[in-house]
Amino acid sequence: MKYKSIGRTGIKVSELCFGAMFFGGDADEETSKALYERCLDAGINFFDTADMYSHGRSEEILGKLMKGQREDLVITSKVFFPTSKTPRINDRGLSRKHILTSIDASLKRLDTDYIDFYILHYFDPSTDIELTLRTLDDLQKQGKILYSGVSNWAAWQIMDALGISERELLGRFEIMEPLYNLAKRQSEVELLPLAESKNIGVIPYSPLGAGLLTGKYGTAKQPDSGRLVDSELNRLRYQDDLELADRFTAFSQKLSVSPATLAVAWAKSHPAVTAPIIGARNLAQLDASLAATDFEVTPELRAEISSLSLAPEPATGRSEEKTLGQFSMLQK
């Protein structure tokens, strides 16, 4: 296992992060323990969870598992969504009230004094960004979090927050958690360049596309159950990508490598990426993703794999620049 620094923080993490989303849900406590221990054996020291996962059970299980090992691990959790099955009116969003209530609940469930990276799980248009940033800055000063981060925000929203943090001398976002896989490459347009420019760590989620890129799906095949079958959100997200799944599976077969291994290795190979988040409901799924640490994706191979899907348009909309290069008219 290789280790990287998260942005400018100096904190070293494994090149894969394990996502504990299934803890307490599809993975019971016994299975969660087996997954956690396999990750430790592989050299993973980086674990991602959220207060909403399994209505808080994910944090509780992770807290039990890491007892006695806390200082060897780097932990993220998130805030935005309700955790209870019958949420109260203010049990959501990024208000000071919700964040202060949520951080104490997360610390109790995780049985820890602090969270390394506390991540805003979604953008809240009803709360002023500066108020949210001041609350996070207070949590840093109190020692309840080391750093803050963001997930599912647009690049302009992150830049707005970075500008406020600099102007007001507040702690800034040091990590981002975007959706990123071969089927969903929008992050390449602005988020990943932003991360490189501002030295922000990147831990992309869903490198397997909710199972799309595991070889189980295609235009003529689909398992009876799975995240892509059972979740309406995932069905809508990937409904137009089954042909890509066929192409990707065929390509991985030519390389004699598991599609899941190749998908994680491809996501990991982007220069802006610190550590893709891998998830699993059983050890077989986990092992396929862990194998990405031993599979090298050269720039040439990355280009071949990338050609299987459509690259997103440039932020400017000037699609001709992908072929002719920037400022092509000025160069003639």
Q: How many Cβ atoms from other residues are within 10 Å of residue 263's Cβ? A: 29
pLDDT > 70 in the chain, percent: 97
The stretch 283-293 carries a mean pLDDT of 97
Q: Which residues are catalytic?
A: 53
The answer to which of 81-90, 206-215, 250-259, 293-302 has the lowest mean pLDDT is 81-90
Q: Is residue 314 a contact partner of residue 321, using CB atoms and an 8 Å limit?
A: yes
pLDDT band at 228 (very low <50, low <70, confident <90, very high): confident
Average pLDDT, the chain: 95
**Domains detected in the chain:** 3-331 (3.20.20.100)
Residue 328: is its pLDDT beyond 70? no
Residue 128: is its pLDDT beyond 60? yes
Residue 62: is its pLDDT beyond 60? yes
CA-to-CA distance for 133 and 18, rounded, in angstroms?
A: 27
Q: Is residue 302 a contact partner of residue 274, using CB atoms and an 8 Å limit?
A: no
Beta bridge mates, 47: 18, 75
Residue 224: is its pLDDT beyond 90? no
Letter string b/e over residues 113-133, b meaning 16 or more CB atoms within 10 A of that residue's CB: ebbbbbbbbbbbeebebeebb
